[in-house]
Amino acid sequence: MIICPNCRHEEISGAIFCSECGTLLEGLSGFTTQNIPSTPPDQNAEVEEKVQPAQVIPDLEADVSLCVVDTGQVIPLDEREEFTLGRSAEGQPILPDIDLAPYRAYENGVSRLHASIKKQGRQLTATDLGSVNGTRLNGQKIPPHKPCALNHGDILTLGKLKIQILIRR
C-alpha cells in the first residue's frame, strides 16, 4: 500500500501515480512536500498584518509583484493573466510559473504546485491548488480550489513561506 503524500489516498503498491490527484508516487522519498507541524491558526496573524507594504514598488513594467517577506526579493508578475506558484523538484515534470525553490520553499513546506494567482482586470485572486500544508491569506486559511480576492499589501503564506502582494495603482 502506498499513501499519496498529496491527498492521502491509498494506492496499491506498484502504482506510479495517484489515481485521485495525479501525484507521482514512485521515487518520491526525499522529494515529497515536507509535512510541517500545523501551528495553531493566527498565532502570528497580528504580527503579519502589521507588515507594511514594501517601501518602494520597484520600477518594473508589472502592475503586480510578489515580495518574499523573509528575503525582500521581488518577483514581478507580468506578461500573463495567470501564474502558478510552487517549487520545482528534480525528476518532476511539474514546473510552476513562479518557482519558489530558490526561496527555501522546500524547508517551508511549499507544494510542487501550491497556489495560483490570477489577474482579471483590476481584480486579483489567489487559489490554493490542494496543497499539502495549505495557503493562508493574512493568517486565515483559505479553502482549496476557491479563488480569494487579493489586495495590495496582503500576505499570502504558502506553507510557511510568506509572500506579500504588491499592486501598483
Partner 1 sequence: MPEPINYYNILGIPFDATDEEVRTAYREAARRVHPDTSKNPDTAEHFILIQRAYEVLSNPDQRSSYDLTLPDVFTKPPVLLSTMFSRSSIQRKSEPQLIYVLLKLSANAGNTKYTNPPLNVCLVIDRSTSMQGTVMDTVKKTAIELVRLLRPEDIISIVSFSDKADVIVPAGTNQDRTKVEKSIQMLNPGGGTEIFKGLEQGFAEVKRYRTPKAVNHIILITDGRTYGDEPACEVLADQAAHLKIGVSSLGIGGKWNDVFLDRLAAKTGGSSMYISKPRDVEILLKEKFRGLGDCFADRAYLKFDIGPGTELRYAFRLQPETSMLEVNSPIQLGAIQQVSKLEVLLEMYIHPVSSERGTINLIKGRLFFDIPHRADPQYSMRVEITRPTSNDPDPMPPPQAIVHAMSQLTLYRMQERARQEVAKGNIKEATRRLQFLATNLISQGQRDLARTVLGEAANIQQNSTFSEDGEKRIKYGTRALLLPSSKEEKGS
Is 123 one of the binding residues for partner 1 (CB under 8 A)? no
Considering only residues 15 through 44, tell me which ones interact with partner 1, judged by CB under 8 A: 15-22, 24, 26-27
Closer residue to partner 1 (CB): 23 or 108? 23
Classify the C-alpha dihedral 97-30-159-163 as positive or negative.
Answer: negative
DSSP 113-139: S-EEEEEETTEEEEEE-S-SS-EEETT
Residue in 1, 30, 59, 90 binding partner 1, rule: CB under 8 A: 1
Is 122 one of the binding residues for partner 1 (CB under 8 A)? no
CB of 94 to partner 1, least distance (A): 4
Classify the C-alpha dihedral 27-105-138-151 as positive or negative.
Answer: negative
Q: Contact, 41 vs 141, CB < 8 A?
A: yes
Task: Write out the residues near partner 1 by the rule CB under 8 A.
Answer: 1, 7, 12-22, 24, 26-27, 82, 84, 86, 93-96, 112-113, 116, 129-130, 144-145
